Amino acid sequence: MHLKLPVLIVTLVLARPVVTEAQQRPDAATDIYAEQVQSVLKNMIGVTIDRQLKVADIGGDENVAVGILHRTGEHDTDGAHRGLIHSYITEVYIMLSGWGTLLTGGELFNEGELSEGSIAIGPSFNAESRGGLVREIEEGDIVVIPAGLMHAWTSIPSHVTYLSVRVDPDQVLPAGYVNPEIN
């Protein structure tokens, strides 16, 4: 009988964080409908900034955001190995249309100033890269870009349009944000 009480106490203490974490979990899913994506996309053709669609609190002090991006040849680096590094945000690109040459990684040098970030990407900076991976990315491809990894479109012959799922473990993006164009 004496052994059961300490085992019960240890079990309750170890189970407590699980219960607390479960209580922090959201109780609803976040939906982004095709017509919402299209509404934002049609208003951003020719615009150079990313458009965040929604930022969802997924519990445990984490967010996930979904943005839509449209780039043309005007947005490539003309082959230069200079790109952007997000300090806290991991991105997953889901290519919807077009194709281009994407550079990721490499040894960084000539780092630029750290920006405070935006609703789309959080704190970020730019840099040049040596030895990164260069490859063609096209419709249907998916690319996972971890936080801290330099990335840049070095060539876009026509356009690339893609969703960016942004994993935000430090909640640097505003939880609950909804693009005003889809309200």
Please check the confidence at residue 145 and state whether its pLDDT lies above 50: yes
Residue 5, pLDDT score: 40
Q: What residues contact residue 131 under an 8 Å CB cut-off, 6+ apart?
A: 105, 106, 107
Spatial distance between the Cα atoms of 28 and 58, rounded to a whole number of angstroms: 9
Residue 41 gets the label, from left (phi > 0), alpha (psi -120 to 50) or beta, of: alpha
Domains of the chain: 31-182 (2.60.120.10)
Please check the confidence at residue 161 and state whether its pLDDT lies above 90: yes
Enter the pTM of the model: 0.83
Query: What would the mean pLDDT of 9-30 be, rounded to a whole number?
Result: 56
Residue 154, pLDDT score: 94
Query: What would the mean pLDDT of 161-171 be, rounded to a whole number?
Result: 95
Average pLDDT for the chain: 85
For 89-117, how does the pLDDT look when each residue is reduced to its tens digit (9 = 90+)? 999 999 999 999 999 999 999 999 888 77
* Of residues 182 and 141, more confidently modeled: 141
b/e map 92-102, b = 16+ CB within 10 Å: bbebbebbbbb
Q: For residue 47, name the pLDDT band (cuts at 50, 70, 90).
A: low
For 117-156, where are the alpha helices, taking DSSP H only?
A: none
Residue 94, pLDDT score: 97
Residue 126, pLDDT score: 94
For 62-75, how does the pLDDT look when each residue is reduced to its tens digit (9 = 90+)? 999 999 999 888 88
CA dihedral sign, ordered 57, 173, 90, 157: positive
Count of CB atoms situated within 10 Å of the CB of 86 = 24
